[in-house]
Structures are given as C-alpha cells and as structure tokens.
Chain A
Amino acid sequence: MENVMIEINRIKKKLGKKEVLKGISLQLKPSVYGLAGANGAGKTTLLRILAGVMNADGGEIVMPEGSGQTGYLPQKFGCFPELTVYEQLEYFACLKKIPASCMESEILRALECVNLGGKEKMKCRKLSGGMVRRAGIAQALLGNPALLLLDEPTVGLDMEERKNFNRVVREMEGERTVLLSTHLAEDLKNLCQSVIILESGEVREVVPETYD
C-alpha cells in the first residue's frame, strides 16, 4: 500500500433531499481510473468534491503532503468569450501559481498537448465546442498536476482528437493519478487501467487492471 496517493473515506453528500453519495471509500494510486455509472449516479458530485469545488457532508479525503496540484476539467466548461485562448490559460496558470518565468512555455505545452498549438491568439468566442473542451483539458494539464480529474473529457471530441487525447493520457500512465468519468466503453477500454462503477451514490465495483 506504499504508493497509495489518495485515500477517500466514507464520503457522503446530500444535495437537496437526495443522498447523492452514500459513503464512498476508494484508494487511488498513480494510475488511470475510469469512473462509470448511469446518469445521476454521482460521478460529477464525486469529482467536484475531490477537486475541492464542493464540500462533502461527511468523510475525509487524505492526500499525502506535497502531492502537488490538482487539475480539474468540469463537466460543463467554458471560457470568457472576450479573452484569447492564451489569455484564458494564462488566467488559469496564474490561479495555479505557475511562476511567470515558465508560464508561457507551460501554456504552449498544454495547448500543444490538445492540438491547439497555433490557436493561442484566437478569441474564445470563436472556438468550436470541441475546441473549448480541449482548452479545458489543456487548463487541467497546466502545471503538471499530480491528480487529474476529468469529467467526461471526451464529450464533443472528434475521432482524431479522441485519439490524441488517448495518447496524452497514456503518456501520463504511472506518473499521475487520473480519474476520468465517461459513458463510453471505448474510453474505459482504451484509457483506463481500472474502472470504478458508481451506482446511486455507492461504489458498486472496482474492476482492476485485469479488465480487458
């Protein structure tokens, strides 16, 4: 259990009257995890809590000290239409406290990863839906976070981009903990080393690496 990177203990969350998460416990190692489950199963809620944009009602999340930052792509992601792609990423980079000296190279690298190289001067209002999604992935990648939380990253990506995304994720295998939610069996198969299946707020099954 040495390389346990993140430990989730009995996380609970109630939204309105509904108990969305009913005590989720998980141990995540540096690996790529797929998060699957029906609509409304609680995937987004779990990712939100892990990303720190929402507080859990109970339970705890333990991350080893100095485990670095978290990259997060929300299910709904957009940009300020008035900014350019570069400026928008710069904004994120500032928030992540990426030092000014390597900011530019870091942003360009992240854009390169999602095939948006050369589009940095484009106004966000002119981006297509898939491009916005990729910009979202790029912002999550900024600063090489140790934990990457991606909520349905492949939605809206064309075949080519999906392949590219697969490549990017593969490159991270073993180095980082990636938790991505998806509805696509193809993603689970191609990308994930393990699959966590949520059902009405509970972990139904964790399918280990042997899944194939």
Chain B
Amino acid sequence: MISKTVKYYIRSKICTVSSVLFFLIPCGFAVFFWKLGMTGFTLLHTLSRYNFYCCAFLAALSFYFISSADRNHVKEAFECGGKKAVYENHALLFMLVQVLFWNSAMCIILILCSMENDASSYFISWFFAGYLCNMFIPQVICVFLTYLVSASGNPGRMLTPEILFIFLISPFAEEIVWEQKPQFPIDYLWKKIRWPFQILYQNGVWSPDVQNDLQMERVRIYLLVFWLLFLLFLAASCIWNVKPVSAAAGIFAAVFLVLSCQPASVYRLNSSWDGINKDITDYEVHVNDHTLKKPDADIFSITSYQLGMALKNELAVEGNLELEASRKCRDFCMTLYHGYAVKELYANTKGVTVQFKQQNDFIFIHADTAVAKLSIHIQYEGHHNKYYANSCAVMLPGWFPWYPMAGKRQVVLEYPEYGKMWGYSPYNRIKKANISIRTNQAVITNLSDKGGNLYEGTEDSITVLGGNIKKLKDEVAADVLPLQLYAGYGEEEFLAKQKEDYFQSLEKLKNAYGVDVSELEHKRLVFASKDLGRNVTNNHLAVFDSYILAVPDYISVDDFLHYLILQDGKNQKRREQSPLIQMVMFSNIDDSAGDIVRQWTEEIRLQNEKPEYMELFMEAAKTCGSERLVKEAVQYALYPQKWECDREFFEMVLNKTEK
C-alpha cells in the first residue's frame, strides 16, 4: 500500500524535482564547505542556522504531497470503510523516511568533514544530540504539523495557522526586537508569545560559542518534547481517534510546556534593549558615572567562602561566608549581580540576627549587634544573560560578581579612552580568601581539584568554566576548547602557540616598551571561549593572582597593554583628552615601530590637529626615532599624570634626546 503512495510521489514531477533539490542543494553546500576546510562544529552550526529554510521547504513539499488526496478529491473514496486519513498516514510516513535519509546523509557528511578537518574526534562523540535538536527534530515537527493540517479535512483553512507557525519559528520573527525599551511592554508580550516557537537555533548577533553549545539547554529540549507530544496529542485526538494516547500525550505536552517556561540561563544575545545591551541600559538608569573607581571594601572582607553550586536550569548557590571587619560594625555591604535573587540570608554567629536588603547589585546586611566577625548563610539563584551557567555550560569569570564580593563593586564600566565604549569590569578581585566550592558536575576553575567535584584554594577570585572545554595536564595551560581545534592546530600546536604568545608578549612589553611585567609573569593560563569578551577589547584577558583568564589567541602585547592601561581609573580624563594616548589605544602595538609612527602621522592629518601639533610630533619622531617615540608613548599612556599635555610630552622626548 505504501508502495502505491511512493509510486504516486515519484510520478508527481513537483514532488520528485523538489526531493532531488532538497537532497542536492543542502548536501552539495555541506560537501562544499567540508572541502573548504570548515571544522565539524562550524559546518553543523552553519547547517543549524539555515535549517529554517529546510524546514520551510519541507513544510511546503509535505503540504503539496500530503494534502493532494484531499485536493484531488480522492480522499473520501480512499477512506471508505473507516480507514481514516489512510493516504495521509502513508504520505507522512514516506516524508519522514525521506527526512531520515536526508539527515543520515548530513550526519555522514558532518562526520567525514570532522574526520578530515578537525584536530580531534571530540566533535564526533559530541555532535549527535546537537544535531538532533537543531536539525532533525525541528524538521520532524514541521512535517508532522503539515500532516495534521493536510489531514484536518480542511487543509486550505488550516494552512493559515501553519503559515503563522512557520513565520513564528523563522529568523524573521527572531529579528523583531525593540532596541529601546517601549512604553507599553509589548516586547515582553512578544517574547512570551515567541518562546514556544524557538524550536530552531536562534542566530542572535554573533557566531556560536564553542564553549557553550548549539543552544541545548534543558528548557529548549523540553520545548522540543512539548511540540512532539502536542502534535501527537492533536493527531491522536483529531485524526487517529486513540483516546488513551491522546490523553497521555496531552497531559505530558502540557507538563513539558510548563517545564520549558521555567526561568533559565539561555545564551541568546540579540540587539534588543534587554539583550546584549541589558546591563548598560540597567546601569544608565541607576548610575551616572561608571568609569572605574576603587572599590570601598576596606571596612571588611570575606575571609572564607564555602559554597555549594548547583548548575541546573540556572545557577543556584547555597553556602556560608565568613565576614571579618577591622572594627566592630553593624552594616555590611556586598556586591552580587542583580540577576541573582537572594532567597535566604541569616547569621550563623550565635546571638546575632541579621536583616538584609537586596538592591541593584548590592546586598545590604544589618546586624542587630555590632560585630567584628560574622558568619552568614546565603542562598541565591538566577542568571546573567551573557555569563551563562546551566547544566550544559558555565562561563563565570572570577571578576564578575556571581558570588558575593565585599564592598560596592562595579559590574559595568565605561571606557572614555575608547570614546565612551562600555564593557564589563575585569578588575574586580576579592581579598585572598579560603575558598571551597562543591558543584553538581565537573567544572574547570582556578581552585585545585580535590575530586568528587570539590574545589578548594586560597585565591583572589572564583572562576568557574564548563561546557565543551577540556582539562589539560600541562603546567602552563589549564584547559582547551576542543571544538576550536582544527587539522594542523591540535592540542600540541594550541599549547605551543599560546605559550609562545604569552612569553613573547611579556618579552616585548618588557624589552621594547619598558613595561614592568612582574605582575604578569609565572601564571597559569585558564582559557574560556571568545564569548568571555566580545563587547570591548579588554575583556579578553584578566590577570589574577595565580592565573590569567584569557581567550585563546588573544594573549597579545595589545591585550596586556590595554589591560594594564585601563586598570588605572584615576587618569581616565587625562587619557581621554590626549590625542596621542587615543592613538596608542587604537593602534596595533605589536606592529613595527616604523609602521605605528606612519599610522599616527596619517591619523593626526585625518584628525585635523593644529599644525604645531603635527610639527612637534614630526620633530619628535625624527629626532628620537620611531622606536623610542613609541616606547615613550606607551609609558605616557600608562602614566599620563607625569605630563600636563601632549605638547609637554613631546618636549620632554625632544629634551631627553638632545641631552
């Protein structure tokens, strides 16, 4: 019987031509990209990005094929004798078989591509679940939905909701965002409406995060299960008339929909006001000036952290903190990012009761008696939309207040040096404390691994990383992101390159620019994906007491220099006003001195500086040579307070040379 349905499919030119195109075009592109040298991950990501078009095409083809019995008035005669939707059932089966073949072909291409272009077999052992959720299941959902529409008895009318569905899952619907917060919360409404339709990979504004994943968070999986069950429910109740199946599927579908709506840390940044720009929007409301200021943590410090971390839909932390003040006091203020809601906070110290208030990024604790030492129990949960933490992946840099930090800290910084650009502050540290964290899954941290997911150490920060990240047995580098490696750039090459970058950068900083690098030397390198930074140059690297948290391939002279320059918040005004420092900030300091000076000359011309400025600059360059000029300029950018203005700096350079 199904053979007759297949025969009809083959006889129909539209169907066969569509099938051939459906197989040839995507597979052809996949093979083309494979041969171009794409890694398995990049190819899978590319496929996931364009899967909407496959889904839409499949829906159109399925509609044409599955509804053709109805369209041609064969349906009623076919169904004589109570064989309800007999043609549609067979047509669905055949479409699903095609989808299965198509996806098998794609998987084979992916595997071959990975074998040829990847440096490890990590992708092959990892990709299948991501493939299912981003490619196969959304296609099955679209075909199944089309089946329901076609077998509904009125495909013409039911086509409208299907088109609406296709639109809602599309990138076009994804692109509807509000860059400014609207008066009426229409964006909130739209978000709620669209959430159940996010069955495909959400493109967002960036390339995928090799550490995170292809959006495989639990809530997304619940959503996919919801659709499968919901469609099964519709089919069982409206078409197949199997009451027990329909009841069970209906109940479970509802459960999974509810589960999928739980608060969760999902990494989907878009250009909406509460997407990539959420923090700066929040801070614009609360604070006027967010240039770097010294934290007021002198009154007390947190000497011990004993935290239990549960990574589920979002981050949940529970544990004890020991607060120690230099003198007895009643009020303590800690910083914790406002996305984490404190559920519970009480004093462990006998005879002391505390009250607390969470306001913006701060927790204000008030004790009923003045104490110098206070032990508190704290429980909080929540998420940040960029620094994700869920059961799939974690990106919690030590400088981000995802754990309580003593005193008032800034989460977001403004960089006048870059012309009002903003970014997260990589300069938050805690006073060295005894830290012990226990997690519900293995993670990579700056603490030492005690086994059984227990991590301990005396450190100035807590960095927790997880996801597609692999621990390394190496003295310098702590980990590697295996999805980033490609043929010719395997673990060994990765290690060699990062170490070389690290050592050479320090050497150049020291020898060529006279920078004191003692604070940067002899550190362990902890790597996180590029998504650690991405919004402003200096987030790619942060130097802690015992380690450097960095993005692979971003350990450079420039990154170190920017990190060092910007950690000084006192002289921001000076730098902002100096054209020369601006040029230092925006040029590639790793270039040769001659090139840099040439770039600067051009820049001065473009900026229409006064003729005297150009003359001074030219004279300085000529007299002391490019190399010395650049070296002095770097020192000037680091310590601008030494000179009144650029003119004074140039004069100093000239005087020094003449002497």
- List the A side residues contacting B13 at CB < 8 Å: 82
Q: What CA separation (Å) do A79 and B74 show in the bound complex?
A: 6
Tell me, yes or no, whether B286 is within 8 Å of chain A by CB: no
A92 and B77 form a contact (CB under 8 A): yes
Task: Map CB proximity to A onto B54-89 as digits: 1 under 8 Å, 0 otherwise.
Answer: 000000000000001100111011111111101000
Q: What CA separation (Å) do A30 and B86 show in the bound complex?
A: 29
- List the A side residues contacting B76 at CB < 8 Å: 48, 51, 53, 72, 74, 76-77
B73 and A77 form a contact (CB under 8 A): yes
A94 and B81 form a contact (CB under 8 A): no
Which residue in chain B gives the minimum CB-CB distance to A94?
A: B1
B12 and A82 form a contact (CB under 8 A): yes
Determine the main DSSP class of A at the interface with B: mixed
Which residue in chain A gives the minimum CB-CB distance to B2?
A: A94
Tell me, yes or no, whether A193 is within 8 Å of chain B by CB: no
Given contacts A82-B12, A94-B1, A95-B1, contact A53 B72 (CB under 8 A): no
Q: What CA separation (Å) do A81 and B64 show in the bound complex?
A: 13
Q: How far apart are B16's CB and chain A's nearest CB, in angstroms?
A: 10
Task: Map CB proximity to B onto A70-96 as digits: 1 under 8 Å, 0 otherwise.
Answer: 111110111111110001101110111
A74 and B4 form a contact (CB under 8 A): no
A52 and B78 form a contact (CB under 8 A): no
Q: How many residues of A contact B (CB 8 A)?
A: 30
Tell me, yes or no, whether B11 is within 8 Å of chain A by CB: yes
B7, B76, B77: residue with the most chain A Cβ atoms closer than 10 Å: B77
A136 and B4 form a contact (CB under 8 A): no
A69 and B81 form a contact (CB under 8 A): yes
Which residue in chain B gives the minimum CB-CB distance to A44?
A: B76
B11 and A72 form a contact (CB under 8 A): no
- List the B side residues contacting A149 at CB < 8 Å: 80
B72 and A79 form a contact (CB under 8 A): yes
- List the A side residues contacting B12 at CB < 8 Å: 80, 82
B80 and A82 form a contact (CB under 8 A): no
Which residue in chain A gives the minimum CB-CB distance to B69?
A: A80
- List the B side residues contacting A77 at CB < 8 Å: 73-74, 76-77
A95 and B72 form a contact (CB under 8 A): no
- List the A side residues contacting B81 at CB < 8 Å: 51-52, 69-70, 72, 96
Tell me, yes or no, whether A139 is within 8 Å of chain B by CB: yes
Which residue in chain A gives the minimum CB-CB distance to B84?
A: A53
Q: Give which listed residue, B11, B73, B83, contacts A95 with CB less than 8 A.
A: B83
- List the A side residues contacting B29 at CB < 8 Å: none
A74 and B73 form a contact (CB under 8 A): yes
Q: How far apart are A89's CB and chain B's nearest CB, in angstroms?
A: 11
- List the A side residues contacting B195 at CB < 8 Å: none
Tell me, yes or no, whether B8 is within 8 Å of chain A by CB: yes
Could you tell me which residues of chain B, from 85 to 121, have a CB within 8 Å of some CB in chain A? 86
> Ordered nearest first, which 3 A-B pairs have the shortest CB separation?
A78-B73, A52-B82, A72-B80
15 residue pairs of the A-B complex, CB under 8 angstroms, read A51-B80, A51-B81, A52-B82, A70-B81, A71-B80, A72-B76, A72-B77, A72-B80, A74-B77, A76-B76, A77-B73, A80-B74, A82-B13, A87-B4, A149-B80
Q: Which residues of B contact A (CB under 8 A)?
A: 1, 4, 7-8, 11-13, 68-69, 72-74, 76-84, 86
**6 more CB-based (< 8 A) A-B contacts, given A72-B76, A76-B73, A83-B8:** A52-B82, A74-B77, A78-B74, A80-B8, A95-B86, A140-B77
